[in-house]
Chains A and B, each alone.
Chain A
Amino acid sequence: MSETMSGKMNRRSFLKVMGWSTAGATLAGCDLPSTVTLEEGKEDVVSYLMPEEYVIPGVGVWYASTCTQCAAACGIHGRVREGRVLKLEGNPDASLNHGKLCMMGQAGVQGHYNPDRITSPLMRSGGNLTPVSWDKALALLEEKLGAVNGERFAWFTGTISGHQAALVDNHLEAMGSSTHYVHEVVNNAVSRAVYQDMLGESNPRLRLDKAKMIVSFGADFMGASVSPVHYAGQYAKFRTNKERGLLVQVEPKMSLTGGSADLWLAIKPGTEAVLALGMANLLLNKIKVSDAGIPADVRSLIDSHDITKVARITGVAGHRIQRVTQLLTERSPSLVLPGANAEGQAQGYDTVAAIMMLNHILGNVGKTIESSGEFPFPQLMARQGGTADLLAFAEAAKSQKLDAVIFHGSNPLFTAPASLGLSEAMASIGFKVAIAQFPDETSMAADLVLPVNSYLEDWGTQVPANQGEDAAIHVQQPLMEKLHADTRGFGDILLTLLKQRKNDEYAQFEDYYAYLRNAFAAMPAGVKNNAKNNNEFWNTALQTGVIKVASGARQLSSKVVSFAAPAEGGAGLTLIPSPRLGLFDGRHANLPWLQEAPDQISKVVWDSWAEMHPATAAKLGINDRDLIKVSSAQGNITLRVTLLKGMNADAIAVPLGNGHTDYGRYAKDLGVNPLQILDAIKEKKTGELAMYGTQVTVKKVGPADDVSLVRMGASDTQAGRKLVATIPVEQLRRTEGS
């Protein structure tokens, strides 16, 4: 059946796979297009001209592919009925996500069927983007990219992997450039740098499932993380192990993961390193764990952080720090995780290094932190991004070092803080090409927009940066024919770009499908898993969606890296621009299902809002639902406030995702974008943007309003109804032991 999905696509194109369709029908005497009606004779129904053998109208067939809704690259199965993809689920054969899929993955069909997709190439003429033919668009590409000096050309993408990444590399080489900016707002770039220095590997396998206790410094591993489904699956095992795992979450704003913790501790933003040093102090000086491998300068830093000082700076009660530290030694192996709020500071590297040092002291390296092995195809591995490349790109644009840039899978004009001056700087880039599915801020600022297929219409391979048990290449295949005649596959566009530069080399590939068939045939025999021939290997790969790859063995080191004395947090309110599973970094703001899904903690839908602790609000004379103005040195945003006890009193959180000035009917002009008012503070060692380092002031500008902020079930008390029975901790300790 996969043969039909692939090789015979062209033959199928005349077979009008339309099935029960409502397309095209209009109501008599009414200009509106018909929606679903039960009236006879109003809806069209079209039969197959000649049915495929396996097709039964009304019966779905599942095909394997790969999700690209975030950088995790989970395996998916899509149900296809009458030639339409209707429902996505996780692929059980993918050891990354074990048949599970998160809500962002589920909402993928809404991106695919989205009414705001770009359906033809757009070219800027007289200031406006106007539709043009592909011939014209490609001629312009040829002309402009042919004339550009290679050193002044760059690619700007989100996380990219597989054969598409290899082709981007080839195109850069053909252009004589080596500049590929990779940008992700939700990233672990600072942690990767620490992992590399400490463990000798930037993407070690974190085994949450093997730990008996996890202390997470704000790592929202089940929510906005680099692989939410993978870690949620591990977390489920962690919780259902014979000895039930214990999760302690320390963060300034409660995340989805924090909401599931056994103990949630609010910490003053920017003091995570102090807490880690305090815990190390207890481990070494009180519990007398060996300090082998800790450099002298770090040891003296640890010794200077006694529990009283640490409790004062972090706002976490001393007896809790002691108890958590004690439990860590009792429940070995454990796992201590750094999160986005630990990374996103001017001293993010130092903070993560201090947190990771606890894993060294507790002996977790090798037990709950494993090597992910040597992936045999380095050219296909994920190019992971962060925010350092965004800053570098803004600087290059500002100093007019770029003449032509191709954008794909990233929206820097939305995610860049206004203080970077990116929108003005971008104007200096002579030729901006966006390979885009939607009219987002970046594609609407481009000079040429090439409409790309949705991931459910496209060929590709994806290599997850964080692999499951088995390292694998995930295969992406079209689940249906493309919806719009004039969109093209990303791989096909890449090949066209390459043919314009190196026709001799690439003319042999008619399209990206042919390129992939050739690349699969060239894979070593070990990967083909005893397939009789290349055809069988290809068909098996499409059927399972997963090509398992044996990684070479590798050993992790465990070395404590030196770091500087930590900062003690800001004096005022710190802004937490918090991403969440759902709208994520804003890329899913145009999917109504995800706008409609309430924020996991504050339950707000379809909006932007600020989260504050009731005590902080009371001090500032602010009530729940008041309109407030949040001001930084860079600007301000006005929005309504939701009071939340899951907050540190020195923090104010504004969830990410909304505040688009473009991006289609669902996202445009909805809410505000907190990224806009961030200070452009650089993390000192890695050059990443310190996203959690901006100090703000808050002022009430309007009274509470019952209609402007929609909260689904926003009650944090049981109002005496005993929905969940509780007893005081003291009583529990008395009756059940501590």
Chain B
Amino acid sequence: MAVNNRLINPGAGFARAGFAGMLCLALLLMSSVAMAAKYDVAPPSGAYKGEDVPQPIEFPHNKHVKENGINCMYCHTYARRSKVAGIPPTSKCMGCHKVIATDKPRIQKLTKYWEDKTPPVWKKVHDVPDFVHFTHQKHLKKLVFDRDFPVENVKEVCAFCHGELENMTVAKKVKPLNMGFCVRCHIKNKELGAPGDCWKCHK
């Protein structure tokens, strides 16, 4: 059976080093956030050293986000409407890649999936237990839309929990996503209405 001790006790040595780094980054982020948004949000604290997860296609987040400036929610379009952000449907990929970079082997592999009418079987990277009700929709509403945070910078908010995907190829878990991680952030942002009731998440 799955042993999740690692999740509960993140590698202490790494956590310390990583934590300082993340904190600096968070402060940086906050300063930029403060300029644009209605109110400040204290990002969550905590780090995690995730494993490299091989995926059927080595999807380059960095190429899409950093080099081409594509918004996270362009592909993860369900994030603002649902509890899950959603893996983009294959049709979405093909919307661009019917014509873009068709000579690249990864795109050729994608096109093969499309032609075979079978979406790739990805491996899940970020997850919370079934007894936790986490919703992307509510978090985006509070952290982006309600505070007039510029939507073009949404990746800074996504990075709270997912890390800087603009610097990764395939996703890697860099935040612990455990209860302490959630609760620390909810306590810090209590004034902004972050709920502290058990049943808000455990329902």
User: What is the interface of chain A, defined by CB distance below 8 A to chain B?
Assistant: 14, 16, 20, 27, 30, 32, 34-51, 56-59
Contacts and interface: CB of A to CB of B under 8 A. Distances in A.
A20 B134 CA distance: 15
Of B1, B51, B172, chain A has the most CB atoms within 10 Å of the CB of B1
Given A16-B119, A41-B125, A48 B2 contact: no
A372 B119 CA distance: 54
Of A16, A36, A49, A56, chain B has the most CB atoms within 10 Å of the CB of A49
B121 A44 contact: yes
B89 A38 contact: no
Nearest to A59: B82
A57 B127 CA distance: 15
A734 to B, nearest CB: 46
- The 3 closest A-B CB pairs, nearest first, are A58-B82, A41-B53, A37-B2
A48 to B, nearest CB: 4
Main secondary structure of the interface of B (DSSP, over half): loop
Of A32, A34, A43, A58, chain B has the most CB atoms within 10 Å of the CB of A58
B83 interface: yes
B122 A46 contact: yes
A58 B51 contact: no
Contacts of A44: 121-124
A690 to B, nearest CB: 49
Contact of A41 (B54, B82, B86, B88): B54
A649 B82 CA distance: 59
A571 B83 CA distance: 65
A56 B91 contact: no
Interface in B68-104: 78, 81-84, 86-91
Contacts of B123: 40-45
Given A45-B123, A49-B89, A56-B78, A40 B53 contact: yes
A50 B129 CA distance: 28
Contact of B51 (A30, A40, A50, A57): A40
Contacts of A57: 78, 82, 84, 86
17 contacts: A27-B1, A34-B2, A36-B130, A38-B2, A40-B123, A40-B124, A40-B127, A41-B53, A41-B54, A41-B123, A41-B124, A44-B121, A46-B122, A57-B78, A58-B82, A58-B86, A59-B83
A609 to B, nearest CB: 33
A40 B125 contact: yes
B203 interface: no
A452 B110 CA distance: 38
Contact of B87 (A16, A32, A38, A47): A47
B50 interface: yes
Contact of A47 (B4, B51, B88): B88
B122 A49 contact: no
Nearest to B128: A38
Interface string B18-36: 0000000000000000000
Contacts of A42: 2, 123-124
A36 B129 contact: yes
Contacts of B107: none
B4 A38 contact: yes
A16 B125 CA distance: 21
Given A36-B130, A43-B124, 7 more contacts: A35-B1, A37-B2, A38-B7, A39-B2, A41-B125, A58-B78, A59-B83
B117 interface: yes
Given A37-B4, A44-B121, A59-B82, A49 B90 contact: yes
B54 A32 contact: no
A30 B50 CA distance: 22
A45 B82 contact: no
Contacts of A30: 1
A39 to B, nearest CB: 6
B2 A56 contact: no
A38 B4 CA distance: 7
Nearest to A32: B1
A58 B130 contact: no
Contacts of B7: 38
Nearest to A30: B1
A49 B91 contact: yes
A16 B113 CA distance: 13
Given A56-B81, A58-B82, A39 B4 contact: yes
A40 B117 contact: no
A161 to B, nearest CB: 38
A56 B90 CA distance: 15
Contacts of B83: 58-59
B81 A47 contact: no
B128 A16 contact: no
A48 B119 contact: yes
Contacts of B119: 16, 46-49
A43 B88 CA distance: 17
A35 B2 contact: yes
Contacts of A16: 117-119
Contacts of A37: 2, 4, 127
A86 to B, nearest CB: 12
A30 B82 CA distance: 34
Contacts of A49: 89-91, 114, 117-119
A45 B78 CA distance: 15
Interface string B112-146: 00100111111111111110000000000000000
A59 B79 CA distance: 11
A635 B10 CA distance: 63
Contacts of B2: 27, 34-35, 37-39, 42
A14 B117 contact: yes
Nearest to B2: A37
A674 B7 CA distance: 51
B182 to A, nearest CB: 14
Contacts of B130: 36
Contacts of A34: 2
Contacts of B128: 38
Of B118, B124, B127, chain A has the most CB atoms within 10 Å of the CB of B124
A58 B125 contact: no
Contacts of B53: 40-41
Nearest to B7: A38
Contact of A51 (B89, B126, B172): B89
A58 B128 CA distance: 14
A31 to B, nearest CB: 12
B1 A45 contact: no
Interface in B160-179: 172-173
A32 B89 CA distance: 30
B129 A38 contact: yes
Contact of A40 (B114, B121, B173): B173
B122 A45 contact: yes
Contacts of B50: 40
A47 B86 contact: yes
B54 A48 contact: no
Contacts of B78: 56-59
Nearest to B178: A38
Contacts of A46: 87, 119-122
B84 A47 contact: no
A50 B90 contact: yes
Contacts of B117: 14, 16, 49
Nearest to B132: A38
A51 B84 CA distance: 15
Contacts of A48: 89-91, 119
B203 to A, nearest CB: 14
A38 B78 CA distance: 22
Nearest to A37: B2
Of B88, B119, B128, chain A has the most CB atoms within 10 Å of the CB of B119
A18 to B, nearest CB: 8
Contacts of A41: 51, 53-54, 123-125
Of B1, B127, B128, chain A has the most CB atoms within 10 Å of the CB of B127
A14 B117 CA distance: 7
A473 to B, nearest CB: 35
A32 B4 CA distance: 17
Contacts of B173: 40
Contacts of B125: 40-41
